[in-house]
Structure 1
Amino acid sequence: MIKIYTKLRQDTNLLLLFLTFLCLSLALINPSIPVTRNIFNYIFIVDISQSMNTKDMTVGLEKVSRIDYTKATLRKVLGRLPCESKVSIGMFAGVSVAATYTPIEVCENFSAINSTIDNLDWRSTWSGNTRIRESMVNLARLIRSFPESAQVIYFTDGEEAPKLHVFNTRDLTQFQGGNDWLLAGVGTFEGTAIPKYDNKNQLIGYWSNESFALQPGMAQISQGNIGARNDYVASGASDRYLSRLDEKYLIDLSKEIKGRYVRATDEQAVLDAMGKQKPAWRDQSQLPLRHILILFALVIFLIRFISLNKIQRFFKK
C-alpha cells in the first residue's frame, strides 16, 4: 500500500488516471446525499366583491378597476415565479373563499393559470356582502383540504360591507391558520364611487351610502343574517358611497392573524413581500452524485494532457 502511495506521488499521470478511475467507480455505485428543499406553494385569493369594480387604479395610462389591476399584477407575478413553484387561484365574496383548483406547477400550467386569471369576474360572486374577517376561517379550512399546504396572498381593498361594529366583528385573536399569510392592499386613499352593474355588466348607477349600513330591525348577532345589507342605488352624486383602500384595517387584521401586509403598488412590491414568507413546507430528498462524479472524472482525465509548462506559458502571455 505504501509503495502504491509513493508511486502515485512520484508519477502525476498515474495519479490522475487513478483519480479518474476512482470517480468512475463511485459513479457506478451512484451515491447520494440527503438535501432539504423548500417547497413554494401559493394560493392567490382575489376579492371579487363589487367594491373591487371601483376604477381608481391605472395600468399603463388606462384607468382600470381594482379587480382588473389585480389581474394585471397577478399575471406579472406569475411570469416571475421560478419553475417548480405551485399556484392556485381563488376567489372571495361574502364570507366564503373558493379555489379553482389545488396548487399546480406554474411552468407546465402557465397558460391554464393565466386563463383562470383572465376569467376572474365580479359576476361570479355568490353573495353581495363582503366579510373579510369571516373569510379567514373559511380560507384556513379550504387550505387544510389541499393535498399540500400553501401560502396565502390575499388581494383586497379591505372594504367590509356592511360596516363592522361590535356585534358583527369576529374575534380572530385565537386564530391559528393565518401564520405568514400576506394581505395585499389594492386601491387608493381618495374616495371613489363604486359602480353598480347589472348581470350583463352594464352600468346602472352607483352604490349608495345606505348600501353599507345594516338593514334596520335585523337580528345583528344572528349567524344566518350576518352582514346583510341594503341594495340601494344612489340617486345623485351626494348619495354615493365613496370607497377607498382601508389600509389601517388590513394592517391591523394582518397582525391579528399573525400575517403580513403589503400595498400592491406593483408586482415587485408583492414579490418582495412573498420573498419574506416562509416556504409552504420542506421536503427531504436524495441528491444523486453520479453526474457530478462523471464530470469530475472527465476534468481529471483531461488535465493529464495539459503539461505544467503549457499552463505557465499561457499565464505569461
Structure 2
Amino acid sequence: MRGWFDRRQWPIAAALLLLIAALAMPPVTLPRDTASYIVTFDITQSMDTEDVGLGNAPTSRLEFARAMVRETMGQLPCGSKVGWSVFTGQRTLLLMMPAEVCGNFDALLSSLNEIDGRMRWTNWSRIAEGGIYSAVRTAHDVGSNTAVIFITDGQEAPPVLPSNDRVREIAEGKVHGWLIGVGGDQPVNIPKTDANGNRIGFWRADEVIQVPTVPGKPTTAESHEELSQLRGQYLASVAERIGFGYRRLLNPASLTSAMRDPRLTHREPAKTDLKWCPALLALLLLTWRFFPGLRSAWRSWVAKPEPSIMGRVSPSNIHSG
C-alpha cells in the first residue's frame, strides 16, 4: 500500500480517487440562466408540402421542422425545458408539458418523432386570429415564464383579405416568443391526404376557397390558394403586432439563436453536472505521470532564468571610459 503513495505512484492513486469521485458525484444545484418553451407545430395540410430539403432530398415542411428542433435540443443548456403542442383550426393542443432536456432527452425525441399530420382534427386554420392566441394562453397557464416557439408556413385556410386586421391583442410582456417561418419561396402544390394520413393527390383550384374580392376594388392578382409558399412577410407583421420575434427556419442555427434569445431566459436553481471537474484533474495527473517529457519541458520553462539587463545591452552600446 505504501508504494502507491511514493513519489512516483501518488499521481496514479490521486487520479483513481478523482475518477471514483467523478462517478459518485451527484448533480449540484446552482443558479443559472434557463428557459422553458412550448414548441408549437402547424400540422395543417400545407405543412406536408415538400419544398425544403434535408441533405439532397426534398422533404415536407413539418418533417424539416422536426429535424431542426431535434438538432436544436442538443444545443440547449441543461435546466432548459421543452414541451410540444400542435396547431390546426383555431387552437393549439398541448401534447407534452415542458420537461428538462438533459434528464428527459430520449423521451422528448421519441414524442417529437410522433408528431405528424395524422393528429390533424380539421383542415382549416386561423393563425393570427386564433392559433397564436391559443398558444400564448397555453404557455401562460403553464407558467414558469414559458415562451412560445410557433413553427408555421403562414398559410391560412380559408384565406383572409390582406387588409383584414384580425390579430388578437396580447398583453405586452405577458408571454414572449418567436414565430418561425418554414417553406420555400415558390408556390408549389399542396398534397391532399385522407383521414388516415395517406396521400391521395394534390388540391385543385376548384377544391379550395380562394382569396375573396373586395367590392368596389379591382382584383390585383389571381388567387391560387391550392398552391403554397412561405408567407414570411405576413408572419413578420403578425409577430411585430404581438411583440414576438420572427425568423425564417433555414438550419438548426437559425432556430437555436431564437430559442437562446436572452429575453426568453430567466435565472433559477438548476441541477448542474460537474463530474467533468474531477475527471479533468485525473486526466491531468495521469498525463503528468506517464509523459515525463512534458514534466521536463514544464520544469525547464519554469526554471528558465530571466535575461539580465546587461544581457540585453548590445556591445556596440558599451563605451569604455
The TM-score, its normalising length taken from structure 1, stands at: 0.68
CA distance in 2, matches of 1:149, 1:79: 21
Quick check: 2:180–2:249 contact (8 Å CA) kept in 1?
A: yes
The residue that corresponds to 1:273 in the other structure is 258
Q: RMSD of aligned C-alpha atoms?
A: 3.1
Quick check: 1:262–1:269 contact (8 Å CA) kept in 2?
A: yes
The offset of 1:122, in angstroms, is 0.7
> Which of residues 120, 125, 147 is equivalent to 1:151?
147
Alpha carbons of structure 1 residues 314 and 197: separation in structure 2 relative to 1, 3 Å:
closer
Alpha carbons of structure 1 residues 284 and 68: separation in structure 2 relative to 1, 3 Å:
closer
Q: 1:89-108 to 2 correspondence within 5 Å?
A: 89-108=84-103
Q: String of CA shifts for 1:171-210, please: whole Å, max 9, x gaps.
A: 4355436754111110011111000011333322212334
Q: Does 1:263 align with 2:258?
A: no
The offset of 1:260, in angstroms, is 0.5
Question: Which ranges in structure 1 are unaligned for 5 or more consecutive residues?
Answer: 1-34, 216-237, 286-310
Quick check: 2:65–2:182 contact (8 Å CA) kept in 1?
A: yes
Specify the SS of the correspondent of 2:97.
Answer: coil
Specify the SS of the correspondent of 2:238.
Answer: helix
Q: Which amino acid aligns with 2:61?
A: R
The TM-score, its normalising length taken from structure 2, stands at: 0.67
CA distance in 2, matches of 1:266, 1:139: 24
Quick check: 1:150–1:280 contact (8 Å CA) kept in 2?
A: no
Alpha carbons of structure 1 residues 272 and 38: separation in structure 2 relative to 1, 3 Å:
same
Q: Which amino acid aligns with 1:158?
A: G
Q: 1:62-211 to 2 correspondence within 5 Å?
A: 62-133=57-128, 134-165=130-161, 169-173=165-169, 175-176=171-172, 180-210=176-206, 211=208
The offset of 1:166, in angstroms, is 7.7
Provide the aligned length of Structure 1 versus Structure 2: 240
Specify the SS of the correspondent of 1:212.
Answer: coil
CA distance in 2, matches of 1:258, 1:41: 18
Quick check: 2:135–2:148 contact (8 Å CA) kept in 1?
A: no
Quick check: 1:36–1:284 contact (8 Å CA) kept in 2?
A: yes
Question: Which ranges in structure 2 are unaligned for 5 or more consecutive residues?
Answer: 1-29, 213-222, 271-297, 305-321
CA distance in 2, matches of 1:214, 1:191: 15
Alpha carbons of structure 1 residues 101 and 248: separation in structure 2 relative to 1, 3 Å:
same
CA distance in 1, matches of 2:247, 2:178: 7
The offset of 1:160, in angstroms, is 1.2
Specify the SS of the correspondent of 1:101.
Answer: strand
